[in-house]
Amino acid sequence: MRLNRYKIGADVGGTFTDLVLFEENSQEIKVHKVPTVPQNQADGIYSGTSELINENQISPTEVVYLAQGSTIAINAMIEGKTAKVGLITTEGFRDLLELRRQKRDKLYDLFVEKPLPLVSRSLRIEVPERVNSKGEIVIPLDLQRTQQAIQTLMHQKVDAIAVCFLFDFLNPAHELEVERIAKSLNCEASIWLAHKILPEFREFERLSTTVSNAALGPVTKTYLTNLTARISELGCNRPPYIMQSSGGIMSPSRAIERPANTLFSGPSGGVIGGLHVAQLAGIKDIITLDMGGTSTDVCLIRNGTVSMVYEKEISGNPVRTPMVDVNSVGAGGGSIAWIDSGGRLKVGPKSAGAKPGPASYGLGGEQPTLTDANLILGRLNAQGLLKGRMPLQEHLAKKAIDESIANPLGLNTVQAAQGILDIINSNTVLATRVVSVQRGYDPRDFTLVAFGGAGPLHGTAVAKQLNMSRVIIPPNPGILCALGLLNTDMRADYTKTYLTSLDEADLNKVNSIIDDLFSQAINWLDSEDVQEDKRSIQILADLRYAGQNYELTIPSSNQKWQTEEIDKLTKAFHQAHEREYGYQSNNEKVQLVNIRVLALSLMPRIKPSPLKEALLDPIPVGFREVWWEEGPSKTPIFQREDLLQGHEIEGPAIIEQMDSTTPIAPKEHAVVETYGSLIISLD
């Protein structure tokens, strides 16, 4: 008799915490949703996991894997709830966090407010030391001043100390000495060394990334320690792995060492889940649209490859780490509709969140939201969300829309509700154009994968405005981010700067750097007890034309670089540059900036069992009046769980399920594919 082996994925959103339970032997998938607990996200994961285990009558010891997508890091940065951080840096560079770069988002705004630095000026301490651009020590570290600096920060009771010296990535001796002195003084604050966090050139970005990690470290450690303890209370002995911004997962211990890697944990899970669903349907070119309760995240995937970036700003603080290239806007089910001072209707970015939530929740919310508008238009079931576990009160939705929107603008309730939908759809279209049209891709060549609790409600409307012809709605769209957590690999990234012309690179030095990065990758794989046949190590190079200030990352096929590999990389870079920017300069020098090594622990993918084939047409469970562009119509309502492989539905129709609702507008046609996804063809 085979023992059951269960995997659990839990994704924490702004409104709901989504969970998926997968049994390896039977390939059976169960889904669950619970309200998010903003004060302590671990409570939501704990209660959801407990309910999943109890409802499915499984033993906690049968849970062999648990992964989560978390908003702890991003929330701490946005809300300013990071740890108290001190900084020790090279003499003369104390104010670098505020001086920043010369580039300005608003070039002609003389009154633009700079973001507050994560370290107050009184906690930024300079010490005499200097390493030059060749890694040579020019001024030795002043040990007495260093000791005084650490003691000052200890007296200020900082939670973490960031250490960032000029050219530390070439010679980390001084940073290591600071760490040694701190330990000798029994400093309780955690120490964050820049050469370990980001061994790359560009001093401001390296400093900002190091400080961001230091500011998030204690917060992340507290959360993960608490979550691990709560999960253990259930009898689960597995550590809760966490999704990275890169789309790979990592252990709790590594997340505590690199907390900034989890800043875009949640959106990354959705992208991976969307890719998985598209691959099951045999589709390679997609745009994922993840609309939840608070925000919408959009990502372009071409030929099955997820677009990546290596730097983003969070609350004005640049952080360099591999990230899925997601564009986010404040548009979700909880987005609040309001009228600005000019009398124009706006929706978002402010959200009603989980509490008080939309007015129709009946939890005290009085402002109209997107959820309230969908309810008024008949697109949502008045009996409630989550199979009735969360009832909706239509009269409260009407009251909120009338008082805040309809009456002030001289509209009726339906007109105001439709206006709210139109604005959200337009905002989402603009976000989608950023990752497609603005980067040289035609949305018509892609399929839209719409998911999240609110994604299916708006997917086809967004696709129509972009002239896209096809939309995929996954079998469980509301929990796809959680499913993505179970369909990705463990990942660790290593990098080292070597700034030189590519054709003049010292191959001995290049190969020495690659060997060192390889050793770090292998040590990590060993520490995670990864089997040899489950290991993958890839080499990449950040390249640019000489004089540029941005790079393109090009994969390398050889661990040992020779002249032939240099030629291949040069050719590949020219082609990538033309694809990305519309031109290539064959006469320009190609410059090597960083060498990267990507280590993966390959994890098995979930392949659900095919649905049974349909023999009869689907039967609606009821009808209700729904407002479409053409006006109101008595619309058939179908239950998603009743649909089988090959079932076809002509619009207008509404398809309901526990975690989401999918409207099929007039002239749209939906068919259920082999593994349960809805493929909607647009007119």
Domain ranges across the chain: 78-220, 335-423, 492-601
Average pLDDT, the chain: 92
What is the rounded average pLDDT of the residues 11-24?
86
C-alpha to C-alpha distance for 189 and 119, rounded to whole angstroms: 15
pLDDT band at 2 (very low <50, low <70, confident <90, very high): low
C-alpha to C-alpha distance for 484 and 243, rounded to whole angstroms: 9
CA 385 to chain centroid: 25
Residue 420: φ, ψ to 5°:
-60, -45
For 405-420, the pLDDT digits (tens) are 999 999 999 999 999 9
Q: What pTM did the predictor assign?
A: 0.89
Q: Which residues pair with 17 in a beta bridge?
A: 12, 34
Residues 6+ apart with CB under 8 A from 341: none
Sheet containing 552-556: give its strands across. Answer: 28-35, 16-23, 6-12, 63-69, 240-243, 249-250, 490-501, 590-601, 535-545, 552-556
- What 3-state DSSP class applies to 625? strand
Element (H, E) at 147: helix 143-155
Q: Which residues pair with 494 in a beta bridge?
A: 597
pLDDT surpasses 90 at 284: yes
Q: Which residues pair with 164 in a beta bridge?
A: 89
Query: Alpha helices, DSSP H only, in 380-412?
Result: 394-401, 407-409
For 482-513, the pLDDT digits (tens) are 999 999 999 999 999 999 999 999 999 999 99
Residue 91: φ, ψ to 5°:
-55, 130
For 183-212, the pLDDT digits (tens) are 999 999 999 999 999 999 999 999 999 999
Query: Which pLDDT score, from 0 to 100, does residue 140 have?
Result: 97
For 591-635, the pLDDT digits (tens) are 999 999 999 999 988 888 899 999 999 999 999 999 998 899 999
Q: How many CB atoms lie within 10 A of CB 498?
A: 19
pLDDT surpasses 90 at 464: yes
| Residue 273 in tokens | 């889940």
For 19-71, the pLDDT digits (tens) are 999 988 888 888 888 888 878 888 889 999 999 999 988 998 999 999 999 88
What is the rounded average pLDDT of the residues 153-167?
97
Residue 488: φ, ψ to 5°:
-140, 175
Q: Does domain 492-601 have CATH number 3.30.1490?
A: yes
C-alpha to C-alpha distance for 579 and 621, rounded to whole angstroms: 50
pLDDT surpasses 50 at 1: no
State the architecture of 78-220 in CATH terms.
3-Layer(aba) Sandwich (3.40)
C-alpha to C-alpha distance for 378 and 382, rounded to whole angstroms: 8
Share of the chain above pLDDT 70, in %: 100
Lowest mean pLDDT segment, chosen from 140-154, 332-346, 458-472: 332-346
- Tell which residue, 80, 152, 89, 148, has the closest CA to residue 116: 80
Per DSSP bridges, beta strands 28-35 and 16-23 are antiparallel
Query: Which pLDDT score, from 0 to 100, does residue 67 have?
Result: 94
pLDDT surpasses 50 at 679: yes
- Tell which residue, 671, 669, 661, 624, has the closest CA to residue 639: 661
